């Protein structure tokens, strides 16, 4: 995986298409994380039909947002992430609902 040589920077390289691709390929979503994300998605109070509004900050490729939309079809989920690579993956997953506010990487 790509790591910044500058120790002031976090080792994750979320602005790299290749890093994001590799991170997603190694994500444990289907085997381990998906049940946990699904559990989070049903924690919202109120009736399932209630149109909750959710801001998923650092939402990545939209794994949690997808679970929320499955559990709460009336939900409006805004996914924010500063990685354009992640936003693109989220848009592939949920083209109708994925939105983002990609910003420039810190310098």
Ligand X SMILES: C[S@@+](CC[C@H](N)C(=O)[O-])C[C@H]1O[C@@H](n2cnc3c(N)ncnc32)[C@H](O)[C@@H]1O
Q: Which residues bind ligand X (CB under 6 A)?
A: 14, 58-60, 63-64, 81-83, 86
Helices 17-26 and 84-93, packing angle to 10 deg: 50
The helix (run of H) or strand (run of E) holding residue 53 is strand 53-57
CB of 74 to ligand X, least distance (A): 22
Of 27 and 52, the one with the shorter C-beta distance to ligand X is 27
CB of 60 to ligand X, least distance (A): 3
Of 47 and 92, the one with the shorter C-beta distance to ligand X is 92
Of 42 and 50, the one with the shorter C-beta distance to ligand X is 42
CB of 10 to ligand X, least distance (A): 8
CB of 47 to ligand X, least distance (A): 26
Distance CA 53, CA 49 (A): 12
Distance CA 90, CA 27 (A): 14
Q: How many alpha carbons lie under 13 Å from residue 47 in its C-beta half-sphere?
A: 4
Q: How many alpha carbons lie under 13 Å from residue 70 in its C-beta half-sphere?
A: 15
Of 58 and 73, the one with the shorter C-beta distance to ligand X is 58
């Amino acid at each position: 995986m790509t790591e910044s040589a500058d120790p002031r920077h976090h080792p994750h390289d979320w602005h790299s298409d290749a890093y994001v691709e590799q991170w997603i390929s190694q994500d444990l979503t289907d085997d381990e994380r998906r049940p946990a994300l699904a559990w989070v998605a049903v924690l919202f109070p109120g009736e399932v039909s209630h149109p909750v509004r959710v801001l998923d900050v650092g939402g990545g490729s939209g794994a949690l947002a997808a679970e929320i939309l499955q559990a709460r079809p009336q939900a409006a989920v805004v996914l924010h992430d500063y990685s354009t690579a992640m936003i693109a993956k989220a848009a592939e997953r949920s083209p109708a609902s994925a939105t983002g506010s990609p910003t420039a990487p810190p310098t």
